[in-house]
A and B are shown apart, each in its own frame.
Chain A
Amino acid sequence: MTMKKALFGVAAIAAFAAAAPVQAEKLIIGLASEPTAIDPHYHNLGPNNALSRHIFDRLINQDEKQRLKPGLATSWKPIDDLTWEFKLRPGVKYHDGSEFNADDVVCSFKRAPDVPNSPSSFATYTKGKTVVKVDNLTVHFKTAQPYPLMGNDVSTVPIVSDSAGCNAATEDYNSGKAAIGTGPFKFVSYKPGESIVLSRNDNYWGDKPVWTELHLRSIKSGPSRVAALLAGDVDMIAGVPTTDIETLKSNKKLQLSQGVSNRVIYLHLDQFRENSPFVKANGGGEIKNPLLDVRVRKAISMAINRDAIVDRVMEGVAIKAGQLLPEGFFGVSSKLEPVAYDPKGAKGLLAAAGYPDGFEMTIHSPNDRYINDAKIAEAIGQMLTRIGIKTAVETMPRSVYFSRASKGAKGLPEFSFILVGWGAGSGEASSPLKSLIHTYDKSKGFGSSNRGRYSDPAVDAVIEEALRTVDDAKRQDLLAKATEMAIENVAIIPTHFQVNTWAAKKGLKYIARTDEYTLAIGVLKE
């Protein structure tokens, strides 16, 4: 029997080969960062989530603009205030041939928040939800309160197989034993620190990738990554350093793909301390925190020459920002424009607020987290000094920066004026509003990254209402309204949106993604 099958298989392959010679299409990508595991539930972090999208599917996929598209679920809708119904895609097969059904969904949502040793779990997206199997191709997600962001949350959790994956340990995934998904690529090999090799899943339910073989190599050093591309050792690289973009553009053998990301770079200002540690009167004396005055905050925003930051510091590879997300995202306000550069007006506002001669301040920034972060902080320091706010610049590695900026020595943010970035993983405006703008509230999980401790009950109310509103149109308006109120009050000062750059051999085009992921399925041949 098996012999017969094998013979048949050989015959089939031979016939197929004779009919249309199968071309091996190999793609090698040089990544800027390395995934820490093959286990898709192990570490909820960019590089891991990007990798897991190759091998595993989600119920809902986010497209290149993070819009929700059917994945393993063909449709989803709320059937009452507290229940969402997901209809699953029939006939989907795992890489090992077993069939996908509702059991896989139930057990995946159980495993995702609870992987041993996980440094950052998916509990953020799974908590408060009970997953119930209705029949083989229907599941219900139940919540205690109305929950409009169900689709966004569900789109982040990879689905693993009930039989092969749910009870497997992270090592089983890394060895390949449990790395069995429904995704466009199959696991071949994983050498930590070296390479990950995948092959095409010819039975994929969706658009099959062009590539039969995929190698992902991590080359963290920027210049080496560019050199590897120039040498032809890799076909495409992610994270092209801004300084190299111009030279690569003029190289006829290469082709660049660029796209705005969901990441806004912004300034947070201390708005909760009467005496802010890094704000001083001229000459270094104590002063009542001027950042509490909205006029001062406005003056700072007006003093920042966003065009100069985009053109000079970012070499044109950024988009100036007037709110939390670039246009096109859900919940973005159509009324907000980037604040215009107006040093005179800024000086006038400072004088009106009682600081005609300005004051002294320090801006803190990481120097290895965002594109050109330290350089931006230096530019901002100079711009503010020009209107009389004598600004010192202090930059530090992110390993030190984020813990000090978030909780300092006494559990409170340590700095007065900081440069930070925020990427909206959910792809809509509630993510930054909830974490950056809402009053810091540990019990409700709001304002977890509100490092300026901005607090406005009116804005909070609108955000919370949006988070209860299931109707998309209404929620969109509420999110836009909350954004407008916060920007009007200068809760934070957005400077620009990051633009990411990929470089590839001539003839390869990458569909740039706002979530900054590098996915082989988005690499197309021209």
Chain B
Amino acid sequence: MSVFIIRRLLQAALIVFIMSLIVFFGVNVIGDPVYMLVSPDADQADIEKAIERLGLNLPIYEQYFKFLNGAWQGDLGDSFVFGEPALKLILHHMPATFELAFTALAMAIVIGIPLGLYSGLYPEQKISKGIMAGSILGFSLPTFWVGLMLIMLFAVMLGWLPSTGRGDTAKLFGLQTSLFTLDGLSHVILPALNLALLKISLAIRLTRSGVREAMGQDYVKFARAKGLNTSRIILVHVMKNIMIPVVTVMGLEFGSLVAFSVVTESIFAWPGMGKLLIDAILQLDRPIVVAYLMIIVLFFVVINLIVDIIYSILDPRVRLQDQGA
């Protein structure tokens, strides 16, 4: 067991190292950040000074060693644009993205599952067909366009919700979040809905197919024969069975909600990590791009590592196969 874990840890370390190479050198091939940063009025000497200040005059491998040396001590470099540690900036923007992702996930569950349940129970009804057609739209419409349409409808035409930005925040467990103020909530609804649209559709389809399959199964027939009322059959027995895949998929989708919030964040001027990343890419703020990707890599490596370890505990075959290999 411990051999397995040590082996996995070494592999994870190797992956992180290789990714740091790919990310660092990949980012450094594109353009030259100096021309994005200096004022056009700067003359040649000013430009050279700026290059030196940013450490871009060093050969690329030296820059990489400097980065590795810092990364080892938890320092992923300073942002070229903001002059502050990249890690600090990313952590600062993280709560905004997570509250968006959480709200979107909550919406997917609260809206998607009941709709999926309904259309699974009454597949022939017009409403169910409407729900299914809607879910196709949810899958296929581009987030960018839907976001603008949501703003046009709810902010510009109806004037119910604010168009862009994040609302007032309140402190909760040391984190600033906008989910516990009225103003904050009104700001989060539109971007979260935009982000959630695809996940709602996914939840509808998963639930519907699960319900349709379950309704024909023996345990449902037996429950009916036993005289249980319909609501108990559906809410207790069917739901219990179909929730397993739904929960698994939704859990996985949370990661992609965080990662794909980029488009939604830029449309709604939402100050999250995605907006930070896209701005950094456009301005060639390399340290932020590298730090962001390294954090994501680490995030996934750790998740996979935990999953692997849990698997190996739950299922001895995984361990045995690994040893045999």
Taking A117-B83, A121-B46, A231-B162 as contacts, is the C-beta distance between A194 and B40 under 8 angstroms?
Answer: no
Contact check, B43 vs A399: say whether CB atoms are below 8 A apart. no
A residues less than 8 Å from B44 (CB atoms): 442, 445, 448
Stretch at the interface among B68-76, B163-171, B236-244: B163-171
B residues less than 8 Å from A120 (CB atoms): 37-39, 42, 46, 50
Complex CA gap A356/B169 in Å reads: 69
Contact check, B38 vs A217: say whether CB atoms are below 8 A apart. no
Contact check, B39 vs A227: say whether CB atoms are below 8 A apart. no
Least distance between B240 CB and chain A CB atoms (Å): 43
Interface string of A110-134 (1 = CB under 8 A from B): 0000001111110111000000000
Partner of A232, one of B82, B151, B159: B159
Segment 28-66 of B: residues with Cβ below 8 Å from A? 30-47, 49-50, 53-54
- Which residue of chain B lies nearest to A215 when distances are taken between CB atoms in the complex? B165
B residues less than 8 Å from A431 (CB atoms): 41
Q: Which of B31, B49, B89, B92 is the most central at the interface, judged by chain A CB atoms within 10 Å of its CB?
A: B31
Complex CA gap A425/B267 in Å reads: 31
Is B141 on the interface with A (CB-CB < 8 A)? no
Complex CA gap A102/B127 in Å reads: 77
Is B223 on the interface with A (CB-CB < 8 A)? no
Contact check, B164 vs A124: say whether CB atoms are below 8 A apart. no
Stretch at the interface among A37-45, A489-497, A508-516: A37-45
Partner of B276, one of A42, A193, A219: A193
Is B213 on the interface with A (CB-CB < 8 A)? no
Partner of A191, one of B83, B89, B271: B271
Is A243 on the interface with B (CB-CB < 8 A)? no
Complex CA gap A422/B41 in Å reads: 9
Contact check, B155 vs A449: say whether CB atoms are below 8 A apart. no
Complex CA gap A400/B32 in Å reads: 7
Segment 235-279 of B: residues with Cβ below 8 Å from A? 266-269, 271, 275-276, 279
Partner of B82, one of A124, A192, A404, A422: A192
Q: Which of A121, A227, A425 is the most central at the interface, judged by chain B CB atoms within 10 Å of its CB?
A: A227
Least distance between A240 CB and chain B CB atoms (Å): 16
Question: What class of interface size applies to chain B in its complex with A?
Answer: 35 or more
Taking A219-B164, A231-B162, A435-B41 as contacts, is the C-beta distance between A117 and B148 under 8 angstroms?
Answer: no
Contact check, B31 vs A193: say whether CB atoms are below 8 A apart. no
Q: Which of A193, A233, A422, A425 is the most central at the interface, judged by chain B CB atoms within 10 Å of its CB?
A: A193
Complex CA gap A120/B35 in Å reads: 10
A residues less than 8 Å from B283 (CB atoms): 399
Complex CA gap A280/B83 in Å reads: 45
Complex CA gap A400/B34 in Å reads: 11
B residues less than 8 Å from A34 (CB atoms): 279
B residues less than 8 Å from A227 (CB atoms): 148, 151-152, 155-156, 163-164
Partner of A119, one of B80, B165, B275, B276: B80
Q: Which residues of A contact B (CB under 8 A)?
A: 34, 36-37, 42-45, 116-121, 123-125, 170-171, 191-195, 217-221, 223-224, 227-228, 230-233, 368, 397-400, 402-404, 406-407, 422-423, 425-426, 431, 435, 442, 445-446, 448-449
The 10 closest A-B pairs by CB, nearest first: A403-B32, A445-B43, A117-B83, A193-B271, A231-B155, A119-B37, A402-B35, A231-B163, A399-B31, A219-B269
26 inter-chain pairs at a CB distance below 8 angstroms, sorted by A residue, are A37-B82, A44-B39, A119-B81, A119-B83, A120-B38, A120-B50, A193-B271, A194-B271, A219-B164, A219-B165, A220-B269, A221-B269, A223-B267, A224-B268, A224-B269, A227-B148, A227-B156, A227-B163, A230-B156, A231-B156, A231-B159, A231-B162, A397-B31, A399-B31, A406-B35, A407-B32
- Beyond the given pairs A42-B83, A119-B81, A120-B37, 7 more chain A to chain B contacts, judged by CB atoms under 8 angstroms and listed by A's residue number, are A117-B83, A120-B39, A195-B165, A219-B165, A227-B156, A407-B32, A422-B40
